[in-house]
Chain A
């Protein structure tokens, strides 16, 4: 699943955050970013990242599921027999996803219709189980919730950047469909970038997601290695 085990021992605290907290945050957002480093959870990343609103909504839903499932597993980790931990984790994740799905269906119904099958598919998103197995099953509840939240936000950030790129290139707008999430009053919040933009179909269709993600990974590697690095 994942060889990205958490940093070994919690360091003594110092400064605003302890070393452990800082490590978790940097890991989730950059060093071990699920979207462009671990490359876990690509199914929603590629399928739903055609607009900013879709990306942000699914990203936040995934983050919510990750935080709650990591928290629950960390709380229950001493009661889960080692042999059946994976089915137990999957059960916890599936229950939480279904609760999120029901809640979205009830309170943000139009958005639920747009995201459709990708909400239940959060269950099968590897990154959720990966964090539960690699981190939450071994660490304290608070650290697990933080780790899952930051990992989720790291994934959300990649989704939003990719969604923004694809939407701007493909449709010439940003935030289209925001009224689906926030109600009709948000209809005017859509930002048109260019008048009479004809649209660029490739960016909206799945290949646009692959190309965009490839560019983001390349950009990250470039930043990580510095300008003089040779691959």
Chain B
């Protein structure tokens, strides 16, 4: 071997040793942290979904019983999402739909919309948005209770004319300075209710009885 070749091989090997050691360290940390990370991600998702439903209104594992939701334009979904049926004593009393308001002021607003079996809204939460901080972000419950005004509304109440912000002659409040954001959310909630009305039977189909799985996670919100 020429000296140059030998040096090249030596440096290559050194880098290889570093990469292998680094990869081993990473795999180790990944294995150590994975269970905790999975638990907190599940808990976080469950907490978010459960927020859209009245406390104690379901006794199933929302995450486990989730069903695929097609990428339906009524829901604003570009990719298939999930529907979380909430059942109590064996019958599905409500369902939580993933939905997207595609026409926010700065892009998509991702929503979770809880709907009772009778078509009334149980609760709406924003899970991700890029609206202007301090202006359009009042749709986030952490900023203001604005999003709660959907609770109890249905396609019949208010009437179709009322499913608009007050500025457009509808029934929903908004804050001056940001009307595009609430408009998008109101529209997305109404469309999701329409989707629910059209697919009620499938969405409210009974969930499989809990398998005899050991140590099922607690489902109380």
Contact = CB atoms under 8 A, between A and B. Distances in A.
B15 A102 contact: no
Given A98-B29, A201-B134, A204-B133, A87 B15 contact: yes
A81 B15 CA distance: 9
Contacts of B11: 81, 83-84
A109 interface: yes
Contact of B18 (A83, A91, A113): A91
B10 A81 contact: yes
Interface residues of B, number: 22
B141 to A, nearest CB: 15
Nearest to A99: B29
Interface in A184-227: 199, 201, 204-205
Interface stretch (B36-44, B73-81, B190-198): B36-44
Interface in B26-41: 26, 29-30, 32-33, 36-37, 40-41
A17 interface: no
Given A91-B22, A95-B22, A95-B25, A105 B33 contact: yes
Interface residues of A, number: 25
A102 B37 contact: yes
Contact of B22 (A92, A105, A170): A92
A159 B26 CA distance: 29
Contact of A92 (B18, B37, B44): B18
B133 A79 contact: no
B133 to A, nearest CB: 6
Interface string A81-113: 101100110011011001100110111010001
Contacts of A5: none
Interface string B1-33: 000000000110011001100100110011011
Contacts of B37: 102, 105-106, 109
B33 A81 contact: no
A121 interface: no
A80 interface: yes
A98 B133 CA distance: 29
B33 A102 contact: yes
Contact of A199 (B29, B32, B134): B134
Contact of A95 (B14, B26, B44): B26
Interface in B63-107: none
Contacts of A79: 14
A106 B22 contact: no
A170 B133 CA distance: 11
A84 to B, nearest CB: 5
A201 B26 contact: no
B26 A205 contact: no
Nearest to B13: A81
A106 B32 CA distance: 9
A170 B134 CA distance: 9
Contact of A106 (B40, B133, B135): B40
A95 B44 CA distance: 27
Given A84-B14, A199-B134, A204-B133, A99 B25 contact: yes
Given A92-B18, A109-B41, 13 more contacts: A81-B11, A81-B14, A83-B11, A87-B15, A88-B15, A88-B18, A95-B22, A102-B29, A102-B37, A109-B37, A109-B40, A199-B134, A201-B133
7 contacts: A80-B14, A81-B11, A98-B26, A102-B33, A109-B40, A204-B133, A204-B134
Return the 10 tightest CB-CB contacts between A and B, nearest first: A106-B36, A106-B33, A109-B40, A95-B22, A102-B33, A201-B134, A81-B11, A99-B29, A102-B29, A106-B37
